[in-house]
Amino acid sequence: MCAASIPVAGRDGLAVLDAEEIRRALTRIAHEILERTHGGDRVILLGIPTRGVPLARRLAGRIAEFEGHTIPCGSLDVTMHRDDLRLHPARALGRTDLPPGGVDGKTVILVDDVLYSGRTVRAALDALNDLGRPRAVQLAVLVDRGHRELPIRADYVGKNLPTSQREVVHVLLTEVDGEDSVMISGEGRQP
């Protein structure tokens, strides 16, 4: 991999998904969303910053390609609802950007890059609760790496990636990092 061009720690790890595979996974998720929601009726996609936001936009783009109609797409920052705020210095907030019309009565699909402990998703559910009352909430992730600490599961998964808790999973996306790939690094995984 081109180890020198992206400023992310641990990207000298093993690549588990390349740009093509990410593209195919998102295409499949987009089809699954259309199937499960009857053509994307009253659906909105909310990406969780940072990397959930470009993923949500890509899914919306795919759906527009297949169906010819656009699905509203926004972002949902969960920082103020996290349960680990007091373990770190106060962090900068991400953007919350709701599509016009809000979330009331809609099927909200939360989009994130990695599903791990499930705590981010719990925070997102709390944040969503303050914004209105969706008809249903679903979860789409690019990578599910296991080790859940809360009773949460994803409805749409790009790739199930069995990991050890000592390993680190990095999702790199062109919009943020300049390239598309999913890397895993840590003990026993060095190439």
Partner 1 sequence: MKRHLISAADLSRGDALLILDTAEELASLADRPIKKLPTLRGRTVVNLFYEDSTRTRISFEAAAKRLSADVINFSAKGSSVAKGESLKDTALTLEAMGADAVVIRHGASGAAHRLASWVRGSVLNAGDGTHEHPTQALLDAFTIRRRLKGTGARGAGLDGLRVTIVGDVLHSRVARSNVLLLSTLGAEVTLAAPPTLLPLAVGSWPCAVSYDLDSELPKSDVVMMLRVQQERMTAAYFPSVREYSRRYGLDAARMARLPGPAIVMHPGPMNRGVEIAAEVADSVRSTIVEQVANGVTTRMAVLYLLLGGMEFPATGVAQ
Q: Which residues form the interface with partner 1 (CB under 8 A)?
A: 77, 80-81, 85-96, 126, 130-132
For the CB of residue 67, give the shortest distance to partner 1 in the complex, in Å: 30
DSSP classification of residue 98: P
Q: Which two tokens stand for residue 24?
A: 């195919």
Q: Which phi-psi region, left, alpha or beta, contains residue 23 (left: φ > 0; alpha: ψ -120 to 50)?
A: alpha
Residue with tokens 């953007």: 95
Is the CB of 118 or the CB of 132 nearer to partner 1?
Answer: 132
Is the CB of 32 or the CB of 126 nearer to partner 1?
Answer: 126
For the CB of residue 130, give the shortest distance to partner 1 in the complex, in Å: 4
DSSP classification of residue 164: -
For the CB of residue 188, give the shortest distance to partner 1 in the complex, in Å: 32
Alpha-carbon 26 to chain mean position: 11
Is the CB of 3 or the CB of 87 nearer to partner 1?
Answer: 87
